[in-house]
Structure 1
Amino acid sequence: MEAAEALFSQQGFRAVSMRQIASAAGVQVGSITYHFESKDGLLLSIYRHHCVPMNERRIELMREAERIENTNQRLEAIVRAFVLPALSSNSDLVGGGARFARLRAKMSAEGNEAVREVIATTFDDTSHALIDAIGRCLPDLAREVIVWRCHFLLGALYYTLINPERVDRLSRGDAHGNDPEEVLDQLVAATVGALKA
């Protein structure tokens, strides 16, 4: 899984063969198909490895956030609950770190049907939970508007995770794209502002 994740994050899903993965992992192709059935199954296992704990943490934090009585504070806490687990770890646990963020960004941009299915299987339930929680805070905002603004949140999150140095460069060093607290605060503020606009 680690070899495949590294290759997919560098070259994309389509460009990597099972033979390349086997070579990088030091195993036979048959071993990969025995354990994962296919390259699609291997990708799904990689996503589940990183995303199951991330999504569990998101749901846990969103449940806590929904107990907040003040609607504005609740909305901010809900968005924060969704973003925080994606930023909170550079390990192989919750969030998966920078390499998995690069992989997710590449997979999202590739447009491959198998990849789209893996992403939907892994993230749709949590994304629906976010959209529903925001809808309860902003009942007058149409669901399709919430969907668009959450979609923009994901784009900003991916781009920030894979290209943090751009923030440093454009701010001439006054802001730091690798500062997870600053990234969290800025993404939450931008998303809440967009949702309330």
Structure 2
Amino acid sequence: MRRRGRRTNEERRGESQERLLDAAESLFARNGFNGVSTKDIGQAADVDPSLLHYYFTSKAGLYVAVIARRAGYVNAARREALEAYARQAGDALTVAGVVRAYVESTFELARKGDAGYLNYLTVIAQMNSTPAGGVLGLETTPFDEVVQLFIDLLRRASPGSTDPDLYWFYHMLSGAITLSWARTGRIDELSSGQCRSTDFDAIADHMVSVFSHGLDRR
């Protein structure tokens, strides 16, 4: 039997990995992928930088692991909301309803998240503006499957829209979401404080209002 208070090698490895992930998430959020070195991450995590390469192979491997660590929560929240709306609406799906389910579940995470989760959302915002293949291992993202579900429901709600219409619609919506996740403070300055980049309730409400009619045929 293991003596109480002593950690196993597996527990120590897990703790080191979590410290590296937490430190990398915070530093990537603040300085971006290219503005952070493996030495910076090791020092912030109080872990020998050689362990970063041992556990994650490279800085890019660690970045991919940071993205993957919380992606399941984002995907689960979005999928649950979209599927619940689809069941409730049946054949009466609307673009407004699909958008509301996707956007409100997305921003519920931002409203409830701790500092680490908000750092994560900032990293996702950066990833969304990184060219495909810009980080090895992120040629696709963990979010793609649920994004396709969102587009499939839009297709049912707006049968007159072409696939390019739907994908461009997602492109614009995704940009608005991740700009908001980045919390740049730009809207605060432009509006002289009337709008706040941390007001996720107002952001979600306005985003639903703007995008609900984005596939209307004129």
Give the drift of 1:66. 0.9
Whether the aligned pair in 2 keeps the contact of 1:50 and 1:92 (CA below 8 Å) is no
The TM-score, its normalising length taken from structure 2, stands at 0.77
Q: Which residue of 2 aligns with 1:130?
A: 150
Give the drift of 1:164. 6.0
Q: How does 1:154-173 map to 2 (within 5 A)?
A: 154-163=174-183, 165-173=185-193
Return the match for 1:19 from 39, 42, 49. 39
Q: Percent identity?
A: 27
Q: Which residue of 2 aligns with 1:28?
A: 48
Whether the aligned pair in 1 keeps the contact of 2:128 and 2:175 (CA below 8 Å) is no
Question: Aligned-pair RMSD on alpha carbons?
Answer: 2.6
Matching of residue 106 in structure 1 with residue 106 in structure 2: no
Q: How does 1:43-192 map to 2 (within 5 A)?
A: 43-67=63-87, 68-69=89-90, 71=92, 74-90=94-110, 91=113, 96-97=117-118, 99-111=119-131, 113=133, 115=135, 117-118=137-138, 120-163=140-183, 165-192=185-212
Distance 1:46 1:119, change over 3 A: farther
The TM-score, its normalising length taken from structure 1, stands at 0.84
Which consecutive residues of structure 2, in runs of 5 or more, have no partner in the other structure?
1-20
Which residue identity does 2:49 align to in structure 1? V
Distance 1:81 1:116, change over 3 A: farther
Identify, as 1 or 2, the structure richer in helix: 1
- Work out the CA distance in 2 between the residues paired with 1:34 and 1:49: 18
Whether the aligned pair in 2 keeps the contact of 1:62 and 1:77 (CA below 8 Å) is no
Number of aligned residues:
194
Give the drift of 1:112. 6.3
